[in-house]
Amino acid sequence: MSARWTSAVLDPNVAGGLAVARGPDGFLLDDNGVLFSREWLKRQDLDILCEHGIGHFDGEPVFLLELRSAAEVSGCGWRGLRQFMLEGDFDIYKLLGYAAQIGTWAREHRFCGSCGQAMTQIHWERAMHCASCDLRSYPRISPSMIVLVTRGDEILLARSPRFVTGVYSTLAGFAEPGESAEDCLVREVREEVAVEVKNIQYVGSQCWPFPHSMMLGFHAEYAGGEIVMQPDEIEDAQWFNVHALPPLPAGRSIARHLIDLYVARRLGLAEPVLPG
């Protein structure tokens, strides 16, 4: 983590500090950003589901107010997590990415998954506890693999029907139980475009703005096969020359980093650095 933002378990019974508010429409913000005086924020008409101490930003303690519903706050609006990833202070995005994971986990673990009784928040560790059956639930991470497949000066890019019109990106998918990262990568590429890969190399990782998601980024070389697109998942997939690329994912995303890194190496340019 950066020197500006560090995660920590803070007791919400302690007064003071800063706070962020998260609701169905994202995070509350005003012209000064998303970090508010905690006391001021709690005086607003917010329907607070729970509160968690999540760490420190520039040395100040930070708390998350997870809301049941959105609210109108004078001079403020709401913004989704993905927008913070693509623009603005990346340290703030990392803070909010962590807050979103904790908020989602807290919302989904109000009741015990074993016996159904209400769970209580433990203030000295990141856990929810069921007094009835003694189950403790901790935040979980769902790893997904994202890979750039290359063939000399060509890179394999595809687009989903859910993408912005015209944009092509790398292939990705979530790991299944019992899979290694490499097994997942090979399976996802085979399922989505029917291509085989070799020489898999890990590049880097990024917290992704979806619940529990951690993207593990890889580069792999083409080993064989013709492109056959997976129905309903892949709208188009093609080999693109590094000198003639289509519209690409937004900067600061790991998908764009994988592409830019390979192109830079192929063309002898300065290598980009993955934000983080």
pLDDT at 264: 97
The average pLDDT across 115-142 equals 94
CA nearest to 262, candidates 274, 98, 250, 11: 274
* Counted domains in the chain: 2
Task: Name the domain boundary from 55, 86, 108.
Answer: 108
- Confirm whether 240 is domain-assigned: yes
**CB atoms < 10 A from the CB of 258, how many?**
26
How far is Cα 48 from Cα 200, in angstroms, rounded to an integer? 46
Same domain? For 186 and 262 the reply is yes
Interval 69-96: pLDDT, tens: 988 999 999 999 989 988 889 899 999 9
How far is Cα 9 from Cα 211, in angstroms, rounded to an integer? 20
The average pLDDT across 178-200 equals 97
Task: Name the domain boundary from 108, 133, 162.
Answer: 108
Same domain? For 161 and 225 the reply is yes
- Confirm whether 131 is domain-assigned: no
pLDDT at 243: 97
Same domain? For 183 and 244 the reply is yes
Same domain? For 87 and 167 the reply is no
Same domain? For 186 and 245 the reply is yes
- Confirm whether 120 is domain-assigned: no
- Confirm whether 198 is domain-assigned: yes
Indicate which CATH number applies to the domain containing 68: 3.90.79.20
Same domain? For 73 and 164 the reply is no
- Confirm whether 135 is domain-assigned: no
The average pLDDT across 250-272 equals 95
**CB atoms < 10 A from the CB of 76, how many?**
16
pLDDT at 1: 44
Same domain? For 188 and 101 the reply is no
Task: Name the domain boundary from 108, 131, 165.
Answer: 108
Interval 33-61: pLDDT, tens: 999 999 999 999 899 999 999 999 999 99
| pLDDT for residue 2 is more than 80 | no
- Confirm whether 104 is domain-assigned: yes
Query: For residues 254 and 206, is the Cβ–Cβ distance under 8 A?
Result: yes
pLDDT at 275: 79
Same domain? For 104 and 202 the reply is no
Domain that holds residue 94: 5-108
Indicate which CATH number applies to the domain containing 249: 3.90.79.10
pLDDT at 203: 97
| pLDDT for residue 233 is more than 50 | yes
At a CB cut-off of 8 Å and minimum separation 6, what does 223 contact?
195, 196, 197, 198
Same domain? For 100 and 146 the reply is no
Interval 148-170: pLDDT, tens: 999 999 999 999 998 889 999 99
- Confirm whether 137 is domain-assigned: no
Same domain? For 25 and 95 the reply is yes
- Confirm whether 54 is domain-assigned: yes
Same domain? For 163 and 219 the reply is yes
The average pLDDT across 239-259 equals 95
